[in-house]
Amino acid sequence: MPQIRKILIANRGEIALRIIRACRDMGIRSVAVYSTADRESMHVKLADESVCIGPAPSKESYLNEAAVLTAALLTNADAIHPGYGFLSERAGFVEKVERHKLIWIGPTAAMISQMGDKVAAKKTAIECGLPVVPGSDDAVDTLEDALSWAEKIGYPVMLKAAAGGGGKGIRPVLNAEEMPEAFQMTKAEARAGFGDDALYIEKLLSHPRHIEFQVLGDQHGNAVIFGERDCSLQRKNQKVMEECPASALTQKQRDDMIEICKTAVKKMGYTNAGTLEFMFEDGKFYFLEMNTRLQVEHPATEMVYGVDLVREQIRIAMGEPLGYSQANLVANGHAIEFRINAEDPETFVPNPGTITLYSPPGGLGVRVDSAAYTGWKIPPTYDSLIAKLIVWAPNRPSCLLRSQRALEEFSIEGVKTTIPLQQKLLAQKDVKQLNIDNHWLENFLTDETK
């Protein structure tokens, strides 16, 4: 069984810091990589070692596969943890890591490739017994194919990039008249964004919720499902708030889906951490995609289940068995994660700059995952996420109250943040009463600007 004594973290910001802390808890040394723009970042300061891998642009640093691999080899790292984003779902990079006799902390290259292609992922989901949205069997190559499938499925439909992700490369089509322009635009967007213009088509659900199930699988055929998260509050397909568990589900719906997901994960032979994402409408689930990596919102699950998911990733990568069964996993209380971005809370324009005051909240049930500090200069080059506020309480009403308190305590000065938006959302009756779906936030923001 391979031992990991040193991990290179191929990421930055709060997720890099999160992984460093897990390494420290396990007695494992950590290596940070950084761009010239991140020289003063917290993950660089707290890692045992650090290596500059290039200039600010991601493609010349964090996406530079050769630079990351070289840093791992020069520092004698045993393994690479990719976090999320950047290189985390590049199957080709995983193969290079393994060719250099390094351990990849994540699922196999074959699984990343299989589930990264939306058409292949849907086929896999069907084979593994997961419920799916009605849609095309394969990629739609021509406008005629798209029109034919849309007529068969019934409008409205959604065009999606087969290689897409992060809410990019998708477009709703309400009728046949809209299809020609939508087809060409989505194809061009997919080609520009992912280097692959393959599209597929599926039924557009009118008022779905976004509910996802956290999974873990080891190298011995064992799998567990850590309940579910409700991620329905989204803007432009980007999650804003996430809750665990999803209070909209009945216990039977939850238990049934946990069993279905567990069976699917075992049939896939999936290893390490991942997330099965579904649309949920009128009491039915429809497979959306599988994220073959750690999720941004994983702390909400950790707070409810009391399990360090990054530690579990590392244990699985070393070949250790899970050591617990589904029956051992008991949900305790309710958690909500709030994404705090350096953005104007009304226009959502990124607002990089120097943080002149950073004072996070505290108290029972309050966790903040962030690499920010007073005096830190937020670079304009990367994602605007600067902190994740995660609040736990024995039940949802108590969690909402504690969340209000924590947001009021959270002080960040020098840059604009989305804290005011999060406070506004908690004050809404629909949010308090769970009268929300994937479109609720967009509609709310549109009404606010009228």
Quote the strand ranges of 10-99, DSSP E: 29-35, 49-54, 79-81
Pairing mode of beta strands 334-341, 357-359: unpaired
Count CB neighbours of 184 within 10 A. 11
- DSSP, collapsed to helix, strand or coil, labels residue 258 as helix
> Is 113 within 8 Å of 91 (Cβ atoms)?
yes
Count each helix (H run) and each strand (E run) in the chain, helices first: 15, 22
* Active site annotation includes 293: yes
Give dist(CA 65, CA 94) in Å, integer. 10
Residue pair 19/30 in contact (Cβ under 8 Å)? The answer is yes
Tokens matching residue 17: 């810091």
How far is it, in rounded angstroms, from Cα 253 to Cα 155?
28
Alpha-carbon distance of 409 to 422, in angstroms, equals: 13
Which of 8, 23, 153 is closest to 72 using CA atoms? 8
CA distances from 359 to 159, 222, 235, 275, 406 (A): 43, 42, 26, 32, 11
Give Dmax over CA atoms of the chain in angstroms. 61
Q: Residue length, the chain?
A: 450
Which among 47, 48, 60 has a CA at the least distance from the CA of 86? 60
* Distance between CA atoms of residues 16 and 44, nearest Å: 9
Report the C-alpha gap between 49 and 20 in whole angstroms: 11
**Which amino acid is present at 152?**
K
In sequence order, which residues have a C-beta less than 8 Å from that of residue 79 and are 6 or more positions away? 4, 6, 7, 8, 102, 103, 104, 105, 314, 317
Q: Given the residues 12, 293, 339, 402, select the one marked as catalytic.
A: 293
Would you name the residues annotated as active-site residues?
293
